[in-house]
Structure 1
Amino acid sequence: MAVIRKVDFTTDIIQGETIVFNFSEDSVVEVVNSKGIKTSYNYPYQPIDTSSWEDGAYTAIINDTSFAVRTFQVVNPTTTADKYNQYLNIINEINQVIESKVQGGGVITQSINNKSLTTESMDALLKLRSHYTKLANQERARMKGISPGNPIKSITTFNRGV
């Protein structure tokens, strides 16, 4: 038997879980999906399988004792992990370019995700790595349901004296 989670749209919904709305009697809930298609649900609420829901931002319009509008996210757990792994691969590729430059390699061009970097300065590479590290940290925090901290503990920057 599937686990049914009661929701009030204050947290994300994982694509594929079974949910039931947790609102008072005589309430009406309208859910507007990421494509703008509206679906109405009346009390008593029946369990809803979210397997066919697309990931993205949704809006819930709740008409019960008061009127409320809430936004929530439907998250596809496999695409979240794929995005995180993609960020890690980009960081590794940038690290390879940096290592080559530090070792005196004459890197003239390097391809990262079908984009060519031509004689990028060390400063530009470090900024690029820092940017993708922040994106990876945000994605990891989102997957774990925590505030974005810094799970990748440190970035070491080497500067040569002039």
Structure 2
Amino acid sequence: MATRSVDFTSDIIKGESIVFSFAADSTVDIVGVDGVKQSYSYPYTTIDTSTWKPGAYTAIINDTTFAVRTFQIVDPTATANKYNQYLSIIDEINIVIESKVQGGGVISQSINNKSLTTESMDSLLRLRTHYMKLANQELARMKGLSSGNPIKSITTFNRGK
């Protein structure tokens, strides 16, 4: 894999080889997800990120100016694993719903250590909807799409008497 020059303005993929792109006589401190600080100084060597844990990191850059930047280490397999886990849960909920529709043949079904033996059809459908929403959010994240329109502000109007 080619080495990428980084200035911590974008995410870094776990396993990527990186080299810092800062001026001579600069120093960079990286604070990891576990709070441990690692210091680097110019001239920078190639860094392998395959052992870095996914999550938010802080870069403290001291060159001609002082800057603090946050960046993410992204595990490219984690999102797909989470998405597949949600699909598996949805499939298990569908099995329970199907059994209930066909005459209540479910004696016991366990999903993520939660027994759905006495769940009503309404609660099963709500649970299924919840996991469908989570799966769709993960799929949108994998494709780089927005998963909805987040509320940006709420305006409350009061009518006078």
What is the TM-score with the length of structure 2 in the denominator?
Answer: 0.78
Provide the residue aligned with 2:93 in structure 1. 94
Judged with a 3 Å threshold, the aligned counterparts in structure 2 of structure 1 residues 65 and 147 are, in CA distance, closer, same or farther, namely farther
Q: Could you say what secondary structure the match of 2:115 adopts? A: strand
Residue 139 (str. 1) matches residue 123 (str. 2): no
CA RMSD of superposed structures (Å)? 2.1
Once the two structures are superposed, residues 77-115 of structure 1 have per-residue CA deviations (whole angstroms, 9 ceiling, x without a partner) of 233322221111001111121222233324353211332
In structure 1, stretches of 5+ residues that fail to align are 150-162
- For 2:122 and 2:91, the matched residues in 1 are separated by 17
Aligned residues: 148
In structure 2, stretches of 5+ residues that fail to align are 149-161
Provide the residue aligned with 1:31 in structure 2. 30
Residue 10 (str. 1) matches residue 9 (str. 2): yes
Q: Could you say what secondary structure the match of 2:145 adopts? A: coil
Q: What percentage of residue pairs aligned between the two structures are identical?
A: 73
Which letter maps to 2:45? Q
Once the two structures are superposed, residues 53-98 of structure 1 have per-residue CA deviations (whole angstroms, 9 ceiling, x without a partner) of 1222211112233332222221222333222211110011111212
- For 1:5 and 1:69, the matched residues in 2 are separated by 20
- Larger Rg over CA atoms: 2
In the TM superposition, residue 31 of structure 1 has moved relative to its aligned partner by 0.6
Residue 123 (str. 1) matches residue 90 (str. 2): no
In the TM superposition, residue 16 of structure 1 has moved relative to its aligned partner by 0.9
Which consecutive segments of 4 or more residues in structure 1 shift more than 6 A? none
CA contact under 8 A between 1:26 and 1:64: conserved in structure 2?
A: yes
Provide the residue aligned with 1:67 in structure 2. 66
- For 1:137 and 1:26, the matched residues in 2 are separated by 47
Provide the residue aligned with 1:45 in structure 2. 44
